Structure 1
Amino acid sequence: MWDAHCWVAKNPNTAFGSRLPENFASETTWYQHFPREGEAFSSSLELPGDRVGLSNWEGGHKVYPLEQCPNQCSNGRGVCFKWHHWDAPQCLCRKGYNGTSCEVEDDSEACWFSPTCGGRGRCRSGFCHCQPGFFGFGCHRTTAYRPATPGLLPDIRPRTKLKIYMYDLPWDIAFPYEYNDGHFGRDAMYKAYEYFMMYFLEDKAVRTENPYEANLFYVPMLLYFYIGNVRDPVPQATLVLDYVRKNWPFYNRTGGRDHFYFMTGDRGTCSIPRWMQDSCIKLVHFGMQRRGITWQGVPNSEYACVQVKRDLIVPPLNMFLELLPSGTEAHYQSVVANRGYDGNRTLLFFFAGGVGDGTEYSGGVRQAIKKLLSSLNPKPPDVEFVEGRASNYRDLLQTSKFCIAPYGYGWGLRLVQAIEYGCIPLIIQDNVYQPFEDFLPYEEFSVRMRLADVPHMVELLRTYTEDQLAKLRLGLAKYYRAFIWNREYSGMAYEWTLAGLERRLAHIQSEYFHHHHRRRE
C-alpha cells in the first residue's frame, strides 16, 4: 500500500503514529487538505496534480487537529473539518459512524450497494465483511475463473440470454469514498447508478460470475464519488478503463464495445474525448445527439454527446422528500378506472424553476417561454409560470394538464416528476433523446414540441381534446414504471435498463457500430 502523507513533521524523531499534531502550524512543514490516494512524500512539498478530481481538490476547506473538535471525533472515527464559511470545525465522520462527535455506530447508509450484504456478510464502516466463501462488493461472489490454457480466451457467450459480468475493482481504482465532504459523496438526484448496482448484485438471472460466458461487462466506475456532477470525468474514467484493459483480456477483444458504465453528471459524456465516446456503452441521463454543436467544452462536432444506437439514456432518480412517488401507483389505478379522464386538472400547463440566460441553458427554451408569456396581455388564467421555486409545486403537478419538461445546463428531473404525478409531459428539448426513447413509444404518453413552436404553444396545446388527453394519460398508466427506480414504489427502471442493454447487445451483434477512433496514448 502506498504511503499517504497528511503532513511532514519538522522533527521526525518525535513523530510517531498517525494522529494529527496538536499545533500543526509549529510542528509541521506542510498540512492542509485530505491526502490524495496513492500520494507519497514529495521533497518539493507540493501536491502532484496527475489525478485531478480526487477528494482533496483545492477547495475552501481545512482539516484541523482532532483536539479542536468534540471528543476528538471519538478518537479518530472522523476528521476535524472546516469549510471556509463555517464558524468552527466539525467532525466529518467516516462511514459507519454518525453524531456530533461520531459517537453513534450507524451503518444504515454505509453499504448502500448492498445494505444486507446479500445476507452473506455484515456491513461495517462502508465495507461488506463477508462470511467465509464469499467475496465482492455485496458478498455476491463465490467463484473466480481463469482460462484452462494460459493465453487462450474461451468464448462460451450465449446467444439467447443476457449475461453480465461486473468487474471487482480494487479500492484505489474505484471505491466509495470514506467521507462525504460535500463534494465527493452521494446526492439523491444522482443515485440512479446506485439503484442499478444494488439490484444487479442480487440479480442471479442476469449476473454471472464467469466472465467467459458474459456477453456484456459492467464497469462500476463510481464516478460521482470522484467528480460530483460537473467536474471532469476523464482522469478517473481513464484510470479505470486502463486498469480493466491491462488486467483482463475482455476489453481488448472488442475495443470495449461490450463494456458499459454510468456517467450521470449533468452533461454526461459531452466533454469526454472521442476515443472514449466511441468505445464503451455509456449509461447517461442527458441524450444530446446533434451535428455541428458549438457548445463550449463539447469537442465532438459529429454527434456531440451520445449515439443512441450505442449509448443508453436512463431516467434520473426523483428523491425529493416532498415529491416522492409514494402515491403514483394508486393514482394510475384511479386513472385507469376513470378511463383516463381527470377533472382535477384545470390548468393548461405550468413551469416553475430557473430561467437562465444564453442559448446553452435549456437550449433557450425557458427564456423563450418567459418571453412569450410576458408578451401576452392579459396572461391566460390557466397558465402558471414561476421563475424560481414554487411552494405549491406538488399541487401544480397534480392540477395541470401539461407539465413543461425542458433541460437545464444538462439533464433535468421534470420529465420524471411529471410522469410520477400523472401530468402529461410537454417535452421541448431539440436534439435530445429521452430515457429509453429508442424503444419506448413516447407518442402514447407525451407531447413533443420544438423551440420554434414555443411562440404558438398556448394555442397548440388548446387543440387537444379531452378524449386525446385521456388517451395520453392511459399511456402514462401503461409506462410510468419505466421512470421509477424504487421498487417500493412499483418502479421498473432497472428492468427497462436491462432491456436497453440487451438492445445494445443486439446492435453489437448486428454490426451497427464499430470502434473507429483509436486512442492517442
Structure 2
Amino acid sequence: MNRTLKIFIYPHRKDDPFANILLPVDSEPSGNYASESYFKKVLSSSHFVTADPSAADLFFLSFSIARLRHDPRVGIDGIQDFVRDYIFNVSRKYPYWNRSGGADHFYVACHSIGRSAMEKVARVKLNAIQIVCSSSYYISSYVAHKDASLPQIWPREGDPPNLARERSKLAFFAGSINSPVREKLLQVWKNDSEISVHFGHLSTSYSEELLTSKFCLHVKGFEVNTARIGDALYNGCVPVIIANHYDLPFQDIINWNSFSIVIATLDIPLLKKILQGTSFDEFSILRDNVLKARVHFQWHLSPVDYDAFYMVMYELWLRRSSTRVLA
C-alpha cells in the first residue's frame, strides 16, 4: 500500500472563491472536527498523491462539510446544493467520475451534518467511498463495507498524561442527555457508587475522571461519534462502547475486542456485572492493548507509521481493488 497506492486530488486554485472549503487549511487543524482537516492537509503533501490521473487508484473529492456548514454563503441549508453542483462540475470537466459512476472516488467528513449532505447526489451516497465519523448502519447514507469510519480525534497539546495513577472508579461517563440510550444509563446507574454517570457540569476535570477510572463509557447520543473513544485511549482507560449497529473506526484492520468491551444497549442493566466479571488478568491485557492501540488514534502533520492517517489510507487501499477502473 505504502509503495503503490496513488490518489488524484481534483485541482483547485488558491484564488477560487471557495478555496477555504476545497483546499487544506493553512493553520494547524483544531476543534471537534480536526480529523477531517488533518487528513486533507497530510494527504495533500504526501507521496500518495499523483498528478497523473491515469495512474490513480482513487480520486479525492476535497470539499469540507464542516467548513461548508460555517460558511455564510452556504450554511446548513445550502450544503446539499453545493455538493450537487460540485459533482456536476467535476463530471463535466473531467472524465473520471463518469467512467465509474463515482465508485473510485471518496470524500472525508467528520461533522454529523455530512449524513444528509449527499441527498441531492445519490450517486455519491451509493457509489463513492464515504470516510465519515457518523458511521451507524441505521443511517441510510452509510453503506457498511463500502464506506469506512473515521475517528473523531481532538488535537492534543503537550505531553501525554501520567498514566501511573490508581484507578479507583469502576466506570465513568459524562455527557448530555440526548438519546434514549443515555436516558436509560442515567435511570439505572445515576446513584451507583462504582459507576460514575454525570450529566451536566463536572465538579472535577474531565481528564481527571478518565485517569482515575478503569473503564470509560462511550454511549450513543444524538449521534454516534468517536470523540470519547479517543479521550479514553489517550488517558489509558479501557473503552466500553454502548451503541448498536455501529461501525467502529478501522474495524477492518484492528481487533477491537483486544482493547475494548462492546455492550448492547439492552444490556445496560447488566453493565456492572459485565465489568466486574472482567478478571484482573483480563483487564491487564485490555489495558496493555489500549496503550498499544493509541498510536492508531493520533494525527501528525508529518505522518508516522500506523497513525490515524496511515490507518485511513489502508482503509482506502482495502476498497480500491473493487473500484479500480482501467483507462
In which range does the TM-score fall when normalised by the shorter chain? 0.7 to 0.9
Taking the TM superposition and a 5 Å limit, the aligned residue runs for 1:287-302 are 287-290=135-138
Matched, 1:402 2:220: no
Shift in Å, 1:284: 0.6
Residues 343 and 195 (structure 1), Cα distance of their counterparts in 2 relative to 1, 3 Å cut = closer
How far residue 228 of structure 1 moved from its aligned partner, in angstroms, is 3.8
Compute the TM-score of the two structures, normalised by the length of structure 2: 0.85
Identity between Structure 1 and Structure 2 (%): 23
The counterpart of 1:484, out of the listed 294, 298, 317, is 298
Deviations 1:24-47 (A, max 9, x none): xxxxxxxxxxxxxxxxxxxxxxxx
Among 203, 208, 216, the alignment partner of 2:46 is 203
Residues 270 and 304 of structure 1 are in contact (CA less than 8 Å); yes or no, is this contact kept in structure 2?
no
1:421–1:454 CA distance, 2 compared to 1 (3 A): same
Q: Is the CA contact (8 Å cut-off) linking 1:228 and 1:265 kept in structure 2? A: no
- Aligned CA RMSD, in angstroms, stands at 2.6
Structure-to-structure mapping, 1:139-158, within 5 angstroms: none
Residue 268 of structure 1 aligns to a residue in which SS? helix
Whole-angstrom CA distance in 1 between matches of 2:36 and 2:316:
14
Partner residue, 1:387: 199
What is the aligned counterpart of 2:287 among 463, 473, 488? 473
- Picking from 197, 203, 219, the partner of 2:61 is 219
Q: Following TM superposition, by how much is the alpha carbon of 1:173 offset from its aligned partner in structure 2, in angstroms?
A: 6.6
Instruction: Provide TM-score, normalisation by structure 1.
Output: 0.55
2:144 to 308, 324, 329: 308
Match of 1:504 among 316, 319, 323: 319
Match of 1:346 in 2: 168
Q: Deviations over 1:307-342 (max 9, x none)?
A: 1221121111213xxxx36443x76xx7xxxxxxx6
* Greater helix share, structure number: 2
Deviations 1:454-511 (A, max 9, x none): 011111111011111110112112221111113589681111110111011134359x
Q: Which residue of structure 2 lines up, in the alignment, with residue 317 of structure 1? A: 153
In the other structure, the counterpart of 1:12 is: none
Post-superposition Cα deviations, 1:395-431, rounded to whole Å, max 9, x if no partner, equal 1110101101123222431111111111100001111
Q: In structure 1, what is the equivalent of residue 20 of structure 2?
A: 176
Contact 1:325-1:489 at 8 Å conserved across structures: no
Q: Deviations for 1:336-356, whole angstroms, at most 9, x for unmatched residues? A: xxxxxx661111001112112
Counterpart contact for 2:173–2:196, Cα < 8 Å = yes
May I ask how many residue pairs the two structures share in their alignment?
307
Q: Structure 1 residue 369: deviation in Å?
A: 0.6
Matches within 5 A, 1:366-385: 366-374=182-190, 379-385=191-197
Q: Which structure would you say has the larger RCO, counting Cα contacts within 8 Å and 6 or more residues apart?
A: 2
Which whole-Å CA distance do the structure 2 matches of 1:312 and 1:244 have between them?
A: 23
2:257 aligned with 1:414: no
User: Shift of residue 268 of structure 1?
Assistant: 3.0
Q: Which amino acid aligns with 1:254?
A: S
- Whole-angstrom distance in 1 between the partners of 2:8 and 2:84: 20
Q: How does 1:242-281 map to 2 (within 5 A)?
A: 242-270=88-116, 272-273=118-119, 274-281=122-129
- Structure whose CA Rg is larger: 1
Task: For 1:165, give the aligned amino acid.
Answer: F
Q: Which runs of 5+ in 1 are unaligned?
A: 1-157, 178-185, 291-302, 335-341, 511-521
Amino acid at match of 1:287: S
Instruction: Work out the CA distance in 2 between the residues paired with 1:355 and 1:288.
Output: 19
Give ranges in structure 2 of 5+ residues lacking alignment. Answer: 22-28
